[in-house]
Structure 1
């Protein structure tokens, strides 16, 4: 059985992501592994005894918070296997090391928290995990409603590597939602109708079990507002972005916009490296 990794700092954002991960695990027959990484803060010139006490206090508080979180999620999702682990260190280092073991199918993370310290730990870590993770990373906004996986939006440039991303999506989640292929082009240019029809046939041939639609939208500027508008127009539950070294997404979206979507998604957003 595959395992979904869910890093958590016990914030409200992280809890929403954990709930989403458990619902997804239940629908796709997977396990959930919660991970909390704590840092014991102490002065290097202080007495050794005080440092040891603070480390033990951090361990105890983390363990208690994890136990409560696991119990809460077990009550809500009795059919899902849920484990919790607390590790001392830095979140990005621990997560990166765990992913090298090839034990996880997916990483699910929350976005920025409401406090400055949560923003600095969870928000920045989410974006760093997206950049470094060899497996898909799913970012869940705090205002995500009940789990739904009916309509998935995929931004496309008609590149074959996107078929690899879709295969990874299928393998990591193993659900069959409606797939809405979305393509932006500049206002004033001709609509790429032939390319869109060709690409739809290619995707349908590769994934015959999926319901597929393709749509091209003229935009003056590709920005987060254009993305949000399409989410609402298409009634999407999830966005999927393929991330090769130089993808369509990276070419048309500035790095700052990539980070903005990762940190402030309107709907759950999945980033797949190909």
Structure 2
């Protein structure tokens, strides 16, 4: 049984992400591993006893907060196997070491979303994890309503590597919601109807038992507002983005768009490295 890894700092944002991860684990029959990484700050000029006290205090507070979180989630999701761990160190290093064990299907992290334009709950860590993680990273905004997984939007550039991303998505989630393949093109360009038909046939051939639809969207400017508008118009529960060496966003989007979506998503968003 695969495990969903959930880094947490015990904030409200992180709790929403953890609850989402548990609901997803329940639906896809996976386990949940909560992870808190703490740093005990102390001065090298202080007494050695004070340094030890600071470390012990951080350990004690982290353990107590983790116990409380585990109790809350276990009561809410009694059928899900949920574990928690607190480790001293740096988030990126600890997460990277965890992923080396090849037990995790994906990582779930939280952000404040559009209701509060501020840094994500773990600062720039969320984006750094997205860039470095070999497994998909699912970012959950704080204003996410009850778990829903009926309609998934996949932003496509009609590249074959995206089929690998879809396979990774299917293996990680183990569910088959309706898949809406979305392609942006500039309003002044010709409608890519032939490419759309070819791509839809290719996706349907690769995933014959997965309900799929394809749609082209003319836009004046490809930015986070266009993504948000289409998300609402199509009633999407989740967005999926493939991130190859030279991604869709790096071809036609501003380089900062991936980071913007990661920090301020309107709905849960999954980033897959291919």
**Residue 172 of structure 1, CA deviation:** 0.3
Match of 1:141 in 2: 141
**Conservation of the 8 A alpha-carbon contact between 2:113 and 2:266:** no
Q: CA 1:93/1:154 → structure 2, altered by over 3 Å: closer, same or farther?
A: same
Structure 1 stretches lacking a partner, 5+ long = none
The CA deviation at 1:22 is: 0.1
Q: Measure the CA separation in 2 of the matches of 1:265 and 1:62.
A: 28
Q: For residues 54-203 of structure 1, what are the structure 2 equivalents within 5 Å?
A: 54-112=54-112, 119=119, 122-203=122-203
CA deviation map 1:199-222 (0-9, x unaligned): 111101111111111000111110
Structure 2: segments with no counterpart, 5+ residues: none
1:271 is paired with a residue whose SS is strand
Task: Tell me, in whole angstroms, the C-alpha distance in 2 between the residues paired with 1:211 and 1:92.
Answer: 36
- SS of corresponding position for 1:179: strand
Cross-structure match for 2:267: 267
Asked whether the equivalents of residues 9 and 36 of structure 2 are also in contact (C-alpha less than 8 Å), the reply is: yes
Map residues 232-247 of structure 1 onto 2, 5 A cutoff. Answer: 232-247=232-247
Residue of structure 2 in register with 1:208 after alignment: 208
In the other structure, the counterpart of 2:225 is 225
Determine if contact 2:110/2:120 at 8 Å carries over to the other structure: no
Once the two structures are superposed, residues 96-124 of structure 1 have per-residue CA deviations (whole angstroms, 9 ceiling, x without a partner) of 1111221100000001499xxx9476131
Conserved 8 A contact 1:4-1:105: yes
CA spacing shift, 1:120–1:272, aligned 2, 3 Å: closer
Q: What TM-score, normalized by structure 1, do the two folds share?
A: 0.96
Q: Is the contact between residue 34 and residue 82 of structure 1 (CA under 8 Å) also seen in structure 2?
A: yes
The residue that corresponds to 1:257 in the other structure is 257
Query: Shift of the alpha carbon at 1:245?
Result: 0.4
Check 1:63–1:234 CA distance in 2 against 1; reply closer, same or farther (3 A cut): same
Preserved CA contact (<8 Å) 1:241 1:249: no
Q: Please report the TM-score for the alignment, with normalisation by the length of structure 2.
A: 0.96
Output the CA distance in 2 between the equivalents of 1:112 and 1:147: 17
Mapped partners of 2:172, 2:103: distance in 1: 12
Deviation at 1:255, TM superposition (A): 2.3
For 1:255, what is the secondary structure of its paired residue? coil
Q: How many residues align?
A: 272
Describe the superposition over 1:26-45 as per-residue Cα deviations: whole angstroms up to 9, x where unpaired.
00000000000000011110
Q: Distance in 2 between matches of 1:113 and 1:138?
A: 13
Q: Distance in 2 between matches of 1:144 and 1:85?
A: 25
Three-state SS of the structure 1 residue aligned to 2:83 is strand
| Counterpart Cα distance in 2 of 1:44 and 1:112 | 35
Range with greater deviation from structure 2 (67-76 or 94-103): 94-103
Aligned to 1:42: 42
Distance 1:120 1:221, change over 3 A: closer
Offset at 1:258?
1.3
